[in-house]
Amino acid sequence: MIPVHGYDGARVAVLGLGRSGLSAARALRAGGAEVLAWDDNAAARERAAAEGIAVSDLTRPGALDGLATLIVSPGIPHLYPAPNPVIAAAWAAGVPVDNDIGLFFRSFATAGWDDFDTAPRVIAVTGSNGKSTTAALIAHVIGATGRAVQLAGNIGRGVLDIDPPGDGGVVVLELSSYQTDLARALTPDIAVFTNLSPDHLDRHGGQGGYFAAKRRLFSEGGPDRAIIGVDEDEGRFLANQMAMGPGDDRVIRISAGGKLSGPGWSVFARKGFLSEWRKGRQMASIDLRTIAGLPGAHNHQNACAAFAAARCLGLGPKQIEAAFHSFAGLPHRSQVVAERDGVRFVNDSKATNAASAAMALAAFPRIRWICGGLEKEGGLGALTPHLGHVAKAYVIGREAAGFALHLKDIPHEVCTTMAAAVARAAQEAETGETVLLAPAAASFDQYDSFEARGADFIAEVEKTLGA
């Protein structure tokens, strides 16, 4: 646990008692704060009370009097589509609002570091797509070289649940826009921006607000190194904002869309090969086509980001390449779950928007596509260039018929359930094809999470192939 500094003896409120909220309450208490907690869900309140955390209704008049700060869980809206009433009351009372990410960054460094040969470092990864795989890949590469590393944030453990790092330790954080948007402290040593595509638009008041939330990771604290995907205008803008000149190698531009040029530091993937260039010279090259855990161009961008981060830590290209080959990938992200008679079954349930589904579709030459679910804002336009890879779509979800209307001339079948979709796709798939779950939609119409949806896909594949 990382005890929170700066609130010893102070009254602090925690709103929302999920994983991050409970973690924040524990860390605040460990730092000497008097914690009051609230959640609209009675079961969550009971779990907190069972740990000895004082539960207090923060919605009642005067509940925020005398508070030093209000800590808010990431799932609670603080501005759009409308501020939570407790947050609005905190504004009115002049109570600062923060989250567990802000607490982490203000509490991470300790006086004990004075005795270390090498200060611990934080690598923070954000973006629309690929941030989980990128964060996990960075942690894997670091760990494979024998260095102490912890993975936390939106993946793995809560940021305040990790162990205080030792000499030379590295913490890799995956941070969502919900987490970066509110944190009052954001000071990573290395910050990574993968890409941007429409997502969570209602929560951020549109695409501009969504990008602004991501940009805060770079603008608030000024990382020593900024690794920025430049395949979209937002990334190109951000890289330009961070760099002091063309040769400023504090900014590393990455791309999976083509060759990058110029005197600065860049890492790009082209035709399956990763290349590192610095000061106009090629420094390294890796053949990504043979790395099973990183299929497709979208994973090649993840590889570029991870390579750049590892190079910032002083790791050599050969060390990084060897670690790439031992990376197994993440569940529900281009996860090969079975293969029979030349047909692969791939679980990419994490492809919850059109842009991430497009990347999955681009990774395989001929696809039996299982798609559908709770549609997100932004539409399915990003899929259009890749629909030529689809032999047939099998649509799931409560509104499957409506989702299918977006597919127009693509051969498709309304299946509604995962069981029906997997059975039909497996029956019709031919040698060389891939049965791909890449929903391009949220899961909440039928499942509690994308993980539950992916697990159902795996279970149905096993049932179908075992039949």
Q: What is the pTM of this model?
A: 0.84
DSSP 454: H
Structural domains present in the chain: 11-98 (3.40.50.720), 109-325 (3.40.1190.10), 335-466 (3.90.190.20)
Residues 50-68: tens digit of each pLDDT:
999 999 999 999 999 999 9
120-124, 135-139, 311-315, 325-329: segment of lowest average pLDDT: 325-329
Q: Is the pLDDT reported for residue 379 higher than 80?
A: no
Q: Is the pLDDT reported for residue 381 higher than 90?
A: no
The percentage of residues in the chain with a pLDDT greater than 70, rounded to a whole number, is 99
Q: Is the pLDDT reported for residue 378 higher than 80?
A: no
Q: Which residues are annotated as a binding site?
A: 127-133
Q: Which residues are annotated as a binding site for ATP?
A: 127-133
pLDDT tier for residue 336 given thresholds of 50, 70 and 90 = confident
Q: Annotate 84-126 with DSSP letters as a single string.
A: -HHHHHHHHHT--EE-HHHHHHHHS--GGGGG-SS--EEEEEE
DSSP 221: T
Residues 198-213: tens digit of each pLDDT:
778 889 999 999 999 9
Q: Is the pLDDT reported for residue 356 higher than 90?
A: no
Give Rg (Cα) of the chain: 23
286 near 308, Cβ under 8 Å?
Answer: no
Average pLDDT over residues 70-98: 95
Q: Which residues contact residue 101 at a Cβ distance below 8 angstroms, ignoring those fewer than 6 apart?
A: 153, 159, 173, 175, 179, 180, 182, 183, 185, 186
Write down the pLDDT at residue 467. 61
Residues 138-168: tens digit of each pLDDT:
999 999 999 999 999 988 789 999 999 999 9
Average pLDDT over residues 272-299: 91
Neighbours of 404 (CB within 10 A): 20
